[in-house]
A and B are shown apart, each in its own frame.
Chain A
Amino acid sequence: MDFEFTEEQRMAIDGARRFAQEKLAPAVAELDEKGEVNLKALKELGGLGYLGMTVAEEDGGSALGAVAYAGSMIEFSKVDAGCAVAVSVQNSLVNDAVAHFGTPAQRKRFLPKLASGEWIGCFSLTEAGAGSDPASMRTTAKRQDGGFVLNGTKNFTTNGGIADAIIVFTRSEAPPGGKPGISAFLLTKDAPGFKVGKHENKMGIRTSSTTEMVFEDCRLPADALLGEEGKGLKVALATLDGGRIGIASQAVGIAEGALEEAVRYAKERVQFGKPIAELEGLQFMLADMATEVEVAKTMLFRVAWMKDAGKPRFTKEAAMLKLYASEMAHRVCHKAVQVHGGYGFMKEYKVERLYRDQRITEIYEGTSEIQRYVIARSILGA
Chain B
Amino acid sequence: MDIAVILRQVPDTEAAVKPDPARPGAILEGEIKFVLNPYDEYAVEEALRITEKLGGSAVGFCVGPERSETALRTALAMGLERAVWVCEPAAWQADVVTQARVLAAAIKSGGFAPALILCGREFIDTQEDAMAAAVAQALDIPHVLGAAKIELSDGKVVVSREVEGATLEIEAKLPAAVSCSKGLNEPRYPTLIAIKRSKNKEIKKAALAELGVDPGPAKSKVLALKLPPPRAKGVRAEGEPAAVASQSLEWLANTAKVI
Contacts and interface: CB of A to CB of B under 8 A. Distances in A.
A8 interface: yes
A48 B73 contact: no
Nearest to A21: B14
Tell me which of B77, B195, B198 has the highest count of chain A C-beta atoms within 10 A of its own C-beta. Answer: B195
B246 to A, nearest CB: 26
Interface stretch (B51-59, B90-98, B126-134, B184-192): B184-192
A167 to B, nearest CB: 24
Nearest to A63: B196
Nearest to B196: A8
A319 B195 CA distance: 32
Contacts of B190: 11, 15, 48
Interface string B188-223: 011111011011000000000000000000000000
B74 A18 contact: no
Of the four ranges (under 10, 10 to 19, 20 to 34, 35 or more), the interface on chain B belongs to 10 to 19
A304 B193 CA distance: 20
**8 smallest beta-carbon distances between A and B, as pairs:** A49-B192, A62-B192, A11-B195, A48-B191, A49-B191, A8-B195, A64-B192, A62-B193
12 contacts: A8-B196, A11-B73, A11-B190, A15-B190, A18-B189, A48-B191, A48-B192, A53-B192, A62-B193, A62-B196, A63-B196, A64-B196
Contacts of A53: 192
B189 A15 contact: yes
A12 interface: yes
Contacts of A348: none
B235 to A, nearest CB: 16
A265 interface: no
A53 B189 CA distance: 16
A60 B37 CA distance: 32
Interface of A: 7-8, 10-12, 15, 18-19, 47-50, 53, 57, 62-64, 68
Contact of B77 (A11, A47, A64, A68): A11
A12 B195 CA distance: 7
A225 B190 CA distance: 37
Contacts of A63: 196
A65 to B, nearest CB: 10
A15 B198 CA distance: 14
A64 B192 CA distance: 7
Nearest to A60: B193
B203 to A, nearest CB: 12
A8 B193 CA distance: 10
B74 A47 contact: no
Nearest to B188: A48
Tell me which of A8, A63, A68 has the highest count of chain B C-beta atoms within 10 A of its own C-beta. Answer: A8
Contacts of B195: 8, 11-12, 15, 64
A48 B73 CA distance: 17
A275 to B, nearest CB: 14
Contact of A49 (B73, B74, B193, B198): B193
Given A7-B199, A8-B199, A57 B193 contact: yes
B199 A48 contact: no
Given A15-B189, A62-B193, A64-B195, 13 more contacts: A7-B73, A7-B199, A8-B195, A10-B70, A11-B74, A11-B77, A15-B190, A15-B192, A15-B195, A48-B190, A49-B193, A62-B192, A63-B196
Contacts of B192: 12, 15, 48-50, 53, 62, 64, 68
Contacts of B191: 47-49, 62
Contacts of B189: 15, 18-19, 48
A43 B193 CA distance: 16
A19 B195 CA distance: 15
Interface string B70-104: 10011001000000000000000000000000000
Contacts of A48: 189-192
A50 B192 CA distance: 7
A18 B190 CA distance: 11
Contacts of B77: 11
A55 to B, nearest CB: 11
Nearest to A52: B192
A7 B198 CA distance: 10
Contacts of B196: 8, 62-64
Nearest to B14: A21
B66 to A, nearest CB: 14
A351 B192 CA distance: 31
A109 to B, nearest CB: 21
